[in-house]
């Protein structure tokens, strides 16, 4: 029963992320958490079943392309976070790997969407990174130009930083809510305690 309900909740969050004009940051924060909760309660096998059910439901609702994209990164992130928290891994480990999984999943989605629209969307990200480098160079009074490899490296680092912040927020939400659902996660390290030691609303 938990598998069906939490897989359906994940599918609804993914559909909301795609189709609703507002609330996408909240949907992104919440998407991995139902299946992570499933793994904390019932183990890895139930979590894999939940991911499979959610993907099948999304294929029926959204088609064979957009449905499976839920795996990248949210399905894989849910499995990773559940595995890490169930084994009591340090937040630094779970945060770092989740940031890498999130970045890799974003790049997979970007590649698929580039094929669908017939345009290289990576160029947009490299344009943002190039603009950032130009602004930083202007602040220090430099007029140097940057190689494409440097611009692409900065783009990947920006994605990693963004996904690290998103993952930290997911850890904080789970730390506040999951103990009330009889599924506590490991305690944060002392350096992060001040950021997350707040009572939920």
Q: Quick check: is 142 in a domain?
A: yes
> What 3-state DSSP class applies to 36?
helix
What confidence score (pLDDT) does residue 164 get?
A: 95
Nearest of 157, 163, 181, 16 to residue 80 by alpha carbon: 163
Q: Quick check: is 163 in a domain?
A: yes
Higher pLDDT, 187 or 140: 187
Domain count, the chain: 1
Mean pLDDT of 130-156: 80
Least confident of 57-66, 125-134, 160-169: 125-134
Q: Is the peptide bond before 194 cis (omega within 30 degrees of 0)?
A: no
Q: Which domain holds residue 192?
A: 2-196
- How far is residue 11's CA from residue 31's CA, in Å, rounded to a whole number? 9
What confidence score (pLDDT) does residue 201 get?
A: 43
- How far is residue 127's CA from residue 152's CA, in Å, rounded to a whole number? 9
- Return the CATH number at 60: 1.10.1760
CA atoms within 13 A on the CB side of 157: 10
- How far is residue 76's CA from residue 108's CA, in Å, rounded to a whole number? 12
Mean pLDDT of 141-161: 83
Q: Quick check: is 201 in a domain?
A: no
Q: Quick check: is 135 in a domain?
A: yes
Give me the DSSP letters along 4-24: HHHHHHHHHHHHHHHH-SS-H
Residue 143 pLDDT exceeds 80: no
What confidence score (pLDDT) does residue 148 get?
A: 81
Decide if 19 contacts 12 (C-beta within 8 A). no
Mean pLDDT of 139-161: 82
What confidence score (pLDDT) does residue 200 get?
A: 46
pTM confidence score: 0.89
**C-beta atoms surrounding 71 within 10 Å:** 20
Residue 39 pLDDT exceeds 80: yes
Q: Quick check: is 47 in a domain?
A: yes
What confidence score (pLDDT) does residue 152 get?
A: 87
């Amino acid at each position: 029963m938990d598998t069906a309900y939490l897989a359906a909740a994940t599918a609804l969050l993914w559909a909301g992320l795609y189709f609703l004009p507002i609330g996408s940051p909240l949907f992104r924060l919440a998407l991995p958490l139902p299946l992570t909760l499933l793994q904390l309660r019932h183990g890895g096998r139930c979590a894999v079943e939940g991911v499979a059910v959610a993907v099948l439901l999304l294929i029926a609702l959204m088609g064979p392309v957009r449905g499976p994209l839920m795996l990248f990164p949210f399905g894989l992130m849910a499995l990773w976070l559940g595995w890490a928290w169930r084994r009591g891994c340090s937040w630094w480990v779970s945060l770092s790997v989740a940031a890498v999984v999130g970045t890799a999943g974003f790049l997979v989605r970007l590649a698929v969407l580039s094929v669908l629209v017939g345009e290289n969307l990576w160029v947009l990200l490299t344009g943002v990174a190039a603009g950032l480098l130009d602004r930083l160079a202007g602040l220090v009074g430099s007029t140097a130009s940057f190689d494409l490899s440097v611009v692409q490296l900065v783009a990947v680092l920006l994605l990693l930083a963004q996904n690290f912040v998103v993952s930290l927020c997911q850890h904080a939400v789970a730390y506040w809510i999951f103990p009330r659902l009889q599924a506590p996660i490991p305690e944060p390290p002392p350096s992060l305690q001040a950021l997350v030691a707040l009572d939920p609303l």
